[in-house]
Amino acid sequence: MKTTHDILTSIQHKPQFKKILHYKCINKLIDTILPALRRNIKHGYINKNIFYIIITATLNKYDKDNIIKTIKGVLNSPMILKSEQFLECDEIKIEDVIVYVDHKPKLDSNFYTTSAHKIHYKERASGNIIIQIKDEKLHTLATDIQKIIKKENNESSSNN
């Protein structure tokens, strides 16, 4: 049975799926850049045989030139480009590298949460409020919510 990796590898060389190959090549080329500079790269794309890299404004001109020089060095070295690490970039013809600065801050998202620090808050609502909503649908919805809160409040007080 084929794995997902096997299926992607087999279809990425077809013309209709060349974006997969471009995406892999872009990631391989960005991985050649120093990690301190790589943190400030937002994304990259290939358009009309030109590799565009979008960076944050925190990098200076020297860092920008260093990124261009590193990627051009990889692209101009046939020995590196033909290696097993850059197989995805073999069919893609990149003629130039352009770096643009985006002044919007890079939004990082951290999806990792530890399970060791699960916080549980005790419900403090009692449901003893007066509902003064004139719309009938909203009034019935609010009373249903109030009933649920009162029921849970009675269950928690009977357990303690």
pLDDT at 73 (0 to 100)? 86
Task: Return the structure tokens found at 107.
Answer: 């939004």
DSSP code of 77?
Answer: -
Better-predicted residue by pLDDT, 121 or 30:
30
Q: Confirm whether 118 is domain-assigned.
A: no
Give the angle subtended at the CA of 17 by the CAs of 11 and 20, to the nearest 5°.
Answer: 90
| Number of domains within the chain | 2
| Cα–Cα dist 116/46, whole Å | 43
How much is the pLDDT for 151?
Answer: 86
Q: 18 and 93 in one domain?
A: yes
Residues 14 and 68 in one domain: yes
Q: What is the mean pLDDT of residues 130-150?
A: 91
84 and 152 inside one domain: no
Q: What is the mean pLDDT of residues 104-126?
A: 68
Q: Say if 12 falls within a structural domain.
A: yes
Residues 119-144 have a mean pLDDT of: 85
Confidence grade of residue 150 (pLDDT, cut at 50, 70, 90):
confident
Count of C-beta atoms within a 10 Å radius of residue 51: 25
CATH number at residue 15: 3.30.70
Given a cut of 70, whether residue 146 has pLDDT beyond it is yes
107 assigned to some structural domain: no
Three-state DSSP at 51 gives strand
- Nearest CA to 60 out of 32, 33, 40 is that of 40
pLDDT for res 144: 93
In a domain, 92, yes or no: yes
Helix, strand, coil in percent for the chain, rounding step 5: 50, 15, 40
Rounded CA-CA distance 88/82 in Å is 10
On the question of pLDDT at 111 being above 80, the answer is: no
pLDDT mean across residues, the chain: 81
| Per-residue pLDDT tens digits for 24-77 | 888 888 888 888 888 888 888 888 889 898 888 877 888 888 888 888 888 888
41 with 98, same domain: the answer is: yes
Q: Please enumerate, as own/partner, the contacts of 127-133 that have beta carbons within 8 Å and a separation of 24 or more.
A: 127/153
Is the pTM value of this prediction over 0.75?
no
Above 80 in pLDDT, residue 131? yes
My answer on whether 30 and 69 are in the same domain is yes
Q: Would 27 be classed as within a structural domain?
A: yes
> Which residues 6+ apart lie within 8 Å of 127 measured at CB?
146, 147, 149, 150, 153
66 lies in which domain range?
8-102
82 assigned to some structural domain: yes
Same domain flag for 15 and 84? yes
Residue 143 confidence (pLDDT): 93
Write the single-letter amino acid at 55. I
